[in-house]
Structure 1
Amino acid sequence: MLREHGDLLAPIAAGGALGSLSRWGLTTVLPHGGLSWPWATFLTNVSGCLLLGTLMAFVLGPWSHTRYLRPFLGVGVLGGYTTFSTYELETYVLGGHAPALAMLYLLASVVAGIGAAWLGLTLGRVVVLDTGREVVVDGIDPDLDPDPSPGQAQEDR
């Protein structure tokens, strides 16, 4: 596997460094006191979900033939930018002192993250479609037929 994909390590590492520095910058601007809402992590993860959704619209559309863009931006930059471990730790710490706030943070992060990913994908698809490109996976436009039968997908090709 390393022989086939070894060339992707440098773009992923470079992207991860940039994403991690971006997250560090946001936590510096919005420091967290421990017993209050962890805004930096919340905003980091939600904005990362939005950007990842947008990126997927382009990776499935006009940028589908680029080898290094998705590993650099998706795995590297956004993987280094978002943080599940800090989200878990902050939920745990809040749970010891403010269980209701911890539960709200836990749920709000998941709901906002999923909503942001959906919004990013939707907005990205609008932009891609406005350029005249289609967002197509395996010859199937997900907007027209989100769950095609296997035989139908073959007939359409």
Structure 2
Amino acid sequence: MNSPHFPQMQEPADPDVGLSVPAGRHEALRAQSPVVAVVAVGGAIGALARYAASLIWPTAVGGFPWTTLAVNAAGCAVIGVFMVVITDVWAAHRLVRPFFGTGVLGGFTTFSTYAVDIQRLVAGGRAGAGLAYLGLTLLAALAAVWIAVWLARRVLAWRQA
């Protein structure tokens, strides 16, 4: 299929890494399978934890989404501590970061619910609350990461002194 829209595939210089070669695709898939698996398992755990938070602290219909705000801020704080631990303290296994950072914390924090909450507030005639929620979540998330990193590094420096 040689056309300007579908140029002919060219083999890479090293056929062992070529994804157009079936063996190359198989090797790439095999190398990524553990990462995909731990992200999926971690994501399920994080999503269940977020769901549990919504059951424990439900948001009334049309109410301000405090639970989502708290979950996102808490998740950002945990990721701040986690990043300090795995970069400054502990040489973690290669699957720890995708499992916990991407999977668990990615499933726990929720940009999609945040966006839906803003849309619901605006559609419900509470544009001011939606705008406040938009800004407050951003500030809370950034502050949570910054404070958590700062505190984690302080604690590490204190323990090493």
Q: TM-score range by the shorter chain?
A: 0.7 to 0.9
Q: Does 1:50 align with 2:82?
A: no
Conserved? CA contact 1:58–1:128, under 8 Å? no
Q: How far does residue 2 in structure 1 lie from its aligned partner after superposition?
A: 3.5
Gaps of 5+ in 1: 134-157
Partner of 2:86: 59
Q: Which residue of 2 aligns with 1:31?
A: 58
Q: How does 1:116-155 map to 2 (within 5 A)?
A: 116-132=144-160
Counterpart position of 1:17: 44
Paired residues, what number? 133
CA distance in 2, matches of 1:88, 1:109: 11
For the aligned residue pairs, the C-alpha RMSD in angstroms reads: 1.7
- Superposition misfits of 4+ residues, deviation over 6 angstroms: none
Q: Residues 27-71 of structure 1: CA distance to partner in whole angstroms, max 9, x if unpaired?
A: 011112232110111111000000011111011112234212111
Partner of 2:132: 104
Q: Of 119, 126, 137, which residue of structure 2 is paired with 1:92? A: 119
How far apart, CA to CA, are the structure 1 residues paired with 2:95 and 2:154?
24
Comparing 122-131 with 40-49, which one deviates more in the overlay?
122-131
1:102/1:120 Cα in 2 relative to 1: closer, same or farther (>3 Å)? same
Local SS of the residue matching 2:58: coil
Identity of aligned residues (%): 34
Q: Aligned with 1:117: secondary structure?
A: helix
Secondary structure of the corresponding residue to residue 89 of structure 2:
coil
Question: Runs of 5+ in structure 2 lacking a partner?
Answer: 1-27
1:41 aligned residue (64, 68, 72): 68
Which residue of 105, 110, 114 corresponds with 1:83?
Answer: 110
When residues 128 and 70 of structure 1 are mapped into structure 2, their CA distance, relative to the original with a 3 A threshold, is farther
TM-score by length of 1: 0.78
In 2, distance between residues paired with 1:92 and 1:21? 23
Match of 1:40, as an amino acid? Answer: T
